[in-house]
Amino acid sequence: MSTATLAPLHATFKRLHHFSHLASIAGWDQAAMMPAKGNESRAAAMAELQVLMHQTLTDPALPAQFEAAAKANLSDTDQASLAEMRRDWAMANRLPQDLVEAQSLAAARCEHAWRTQRKANDWVGFARNLSEVVKLARQEAHMLADATGVTPYEALMDKFEPGMRESTITALFGEVKTWLPGLITQVMERQQHETVVAAIGPFPVERQRALGVDVMGLLGFDFEGGRLDISTHPFCGGVPQDVRITTRYSEATFAPSLSGIIHETGHARYEQRLPRDTLHLPVGRARSMGVHESQSLSFEMQLARSPAFLQLIAPLVKRHLGDQPAFDADNLARLFTRVHRGFIRVDADELTYPAHVILRFEIERALIDSEIEVDDIPALWTEKMREYLGVDAAGNYENGCMQDIHWPSGMFGYFPSYTLGAMYAAQYFATIRKLHPDLDARIAAGDLSPVMNWLDANIWSQASRWSTDALITRATGEPLNALYFRQHLVGRYLNA
């Protein structure tokens, strides 16, 4: 009975899945391969596709289909699936078609111009485009908030973190701010007394890429179902059957590109291991962006910055980049755990990274709530960078408030996902270590199965079957507990 009752809804969401597939690949091409003069026509095509998807989700026939399904004798799994479909349907019906189209066009134009404006440190030009993106984001936020009874910023955050409350994030980040600055200072003072051999470049791009591909293989990336390319800002896109990841290279240093590849491979493994029988349904998608970031940060921070993993890949680094003292395992471990106060979020170490996220959260929340305007961002950015990281970012827009793709793309409410992801990842690994006390020895020997099998069973295969709280509780025995994150940082950087 349930199969027949859900069949019309499944047909609709399968169609949406196919549209989303095309949008994802077109978006990857736009960022990685498309020539500059193709942007206007691509933006128009992408906006048209977004309108088509919106029309599909606002089809007048859907309410009756949802009502019929709600009356059916559904299994627990089908009820969870129905709830996820209803969520997508409800969100689409809260927004008018003309706003959806306008947002798509404004974001495409702003993001495309940002690629050159950032390099030119052109805040004035960027601000003009960003102002339109912000105006439309505020409209969306207020429409969603009015319909759901939450704050405007929370309404946008809910797109990425279903069920997460702004008050929860504020409390979590407020608590982190009480101990993080002191810990950063303490660790940096300790590291001043350590001897670290710097890696001597240059490091040709083709050799860095070959190293990255080998590490991707070690981490289980399926190259028959994905690929590695270059873009202005590293990302993971595409679809589970065809995952596209990107990085960026500098011949002066190898660590940022390798870390970026490992980070995006974490995203990719999640996508590649989602259950195939429900890929066309919302319940078959990744649970949230916080959970998604927990996969990338499980790979990049928890696993890849551990001495055991760096011992494992040291021979690969030497094979591709040359045999030099900097690439001895012990020195690699020191290189990849250097703590420094820098400008760039994606290049930050895991200790200073949360400060980068918190300041973005505070700025974008104030922006969506109309407490500040776009022109206020640089001064506020400079103030918070100085306060949280002791870095003077005044006038450095390229490596300051223009560095991320999120705001030009209209992704307000996403940034909290990164630190939530780091917290989830720390909790995962605390659980894995309880199950496998010999974890580090196994990793150093090349056996990554304790990590990969646990993630596969508890996170990847579960998709959106459970709420985020339920997913984390089922996996680790308790809901999110930020204490594990602090314990991890203290253990790695002070007690090791």
DSSP 272-328: HTS-GGGTTSGGGS-S-HHHHHHHHHIIIIIITTSHHHHHHHHHHHHHHH---GGGS
**Amino acid identity, position 39:** N
Sheet with 236-239: list strands edge to edge. Answer: 226-230, 242-247, 236-239
Q: Does residue 243 sit in helix, strand or coil? A: strand
Element (H, E) at 209: helix 205-218
Q: Does residue 75 sit in helix, strand or coil? A: coil
Whether 350 is catalytic:
no
Count of alpha carbons within 13 Å of 39, Cβ hemisphere only? 16
Residue owning tokens 């099998």: 453
The number of beta carbons lying within 10 Å of the beta carbon of residue 379 is: 12
484: its two tokens: 């594990």
Instruction: Give the 3-state DSSP-derived string for 316-370, with helices as H, strands as E and coil as C.
Output: HHHHHHCCCHHHCHHHHHHHCCCCCCCCCCCCCCCCCHHHHHHHHHHHHHHHHCC
138: its two tokens: 């505020």
Count of alpha carbons within 13 Å of 200, Cβ hemisphere only? 5
178: its two tokens: 């009480």
Which phi and psi angles does 239 have, rounded to 5°? -135, 165
Residue 237: strand pairing partners = 244
Task: Spot the catalytic one: 154, 264, 293, 364.
Answer: 264
- Residue 132 per-residue DSSP state: H
What whole-number distance in Å separates Cα of residue 404 and Cα of residue 395? Answer: 16
Element (H, E) at 45: helix 39-57
Residue 253: strand pairing partners = 250
Catalytic residues: 264
